[in-house]
Every structure is written in structure tokens, then in C-alpha cells.
Amino acid sequence: MARAFTSRMSCVSLTLLVFLISSTAWAQIGPPQPRAPSGGYSLGVGLHNVQSRWSPYDYTIARNRVYIEGSHGLGDCLEIFSRVGGSNWVINDIETLQPGMIRDVSSDGYPLFASGGLRGMCWECDNWSIGLSLEAAVYSGMEETVRWSFDRYQELLFDPTVEINAGLSVGYCLERGIVYSGPLLHLGYARADVRTHIFGPNWTVEDSIDAVTIRDKPGWGWFLGWQRPIGEWGWNLQLEGSVLNEGFGGAISCFKAW
């Protein structure tokens, strides 16, 4: 009986893991409890993707982050954390030349990003707990060339993108793990200089410079996650899914604390 239950749980866990990896999410918030003990540390790796609509300019943004995360416990209920890794992102249907002329713009590979934040538990009673998480991230700038026709093309020079992610996490201890859920907030800002080059008669060149602003202020959503120990070496697995403005996603990470 116990073996059958373990087998069913393994199948459920594997299904959820595949589902999350193939989906998308804005920020991995986590449960109310910090990862690192007081005065201690944690180290892990993570992956999460995202696709949602940024308002008020209504651009659909897709992003994939792969990172290393470390944290340091400032107390029993508070820690600081940082993430460093690569991020691939795509802006869908960007219009920079004439109305109706749209094109997807994407980064070249996985440029560097870095973030830092605070995570802490502010209330706990029996199996229930409440915590907060705040992360500020900066992404590398991006350059993209879009050729609309043989005689006109554009250079898009993106400044570093800035994001702020926050979440209120409500957790419930379930057997060895914890199930958690709550609202999340996303703010983002990106700006690009758009340089348009048009070849005229006798190969004369007409150049112009404009700007495109991409902003999310603010984007509200909801997240649901599960964290539990795995194996006998002190490792933990964290799975999380979320919904946001016209978007849906998921994230996965594995970490160890000492």
C-alpha cells in the first residue's frame, strides 16, 4: 500500500515538473520560510520562464531565466538573496516603422542578468505562516537590427531592463513539505533608441532617431507553489506556477542550506 502511494506521488511530481518546465512564470516567490538558517547560507539553481502582457503599452513579453541563487540568513525569519545567470527574452509584435508593420525582437542567446532581494516570514501559527518576498533585477542591454525592405532598416538599441517583483506568500505545512500561495506584483521598464536608415535616390541616406518605451506598471497576478526535501543530503525541491496579465507560467529550483 505504501509502495503504491509512493509510486503515485512520484508520478504526480514528475507530471507537475514537466508541466512547469514547459510553461512560464514571472518571479519565483517561494514559501514564507527563508531558505537559509539564521547566520547560515543556502545555494541552489533555478529556471523559470514567462509570457505576459505589459501595460499600458500592451506589448507581450516572453522571458526565460536560468540562474544560480544564494542567500544568507539575517535571523530566524529574514534573509537576503541574490540571483545571477542568463536571460533570454522576446518582445512580440513590436511596431517601430509604420502602423501595421510589426516584428518580434529577441535577445541573442542568454545575456547576463543579476538581482537581489529580501525574503522573510512575518507570522506563524501551527501549520500556517505568512511571509513577504521582494526582488529587484537588472538585465543586460540588447541590440537588434530589423530590415524591412532592401532600402530601409532599423537598429534597436535597448538600455538595461529593470524589473521589480514582490509577493505575499501564505503557507501551510503538509507532511514533510509546504504548500504556499498568494498575490504577486510585477513592475518592469525598458527603453530603446530606434535608428531608422532609408536609402533614397542616388543612394542618399536619410537617418532618424526615435524611442520606444516598454513598461509594466503594475502587473498583478497570483502564484501557487510546493516545496519539500528530496533525498538524504539536505537538498530541497521547489515548484511554482503563476498567472499574470494574459499570461501563465511556472518555475523550478533546487537548493541546499547549511
pLDDT digits (tens, 9 = 90+) for 210-238: 999 999 988 889 999 999 999 889 999 99
Q: Could you tell me the three cell numbers for 122? A: 512575518
Domains, the chain: 2-257 (2.40.128)
Residue with cell 517583483: 165
Average pLDDT over residues 65-73: 97
- Given pLDDT bands bounded at 50, 70 and 90, which one contains residue 132? very high
Within the chain, residue ranges assigned H as helices are 2-21
Reported as a single tens digit per residue, the pLDDT across 152-172 is 999 999 999 999 999 999 999
Region of residue 58 (left: phi > 0; alpha: psi -120 to 50; beta: else): left
pLDDT at 7 over 80: no
DSSP strands (E only) in the chain: 41-54, 59-73, 78-95, 102-106, 112-125, 128-139, 142-149, 152-158, 161-174, 177-199, 205-230, 235-244, 247-257
Instruction: Indicate if the pLDDT at residue 19 is higher than 80.
Output: no
Residue 27's pLDDT band (cuts 50, 70, 90): low
Please determine, for residue 90, whether its predicted confidence score (pLDDT) is greater than 90: yes
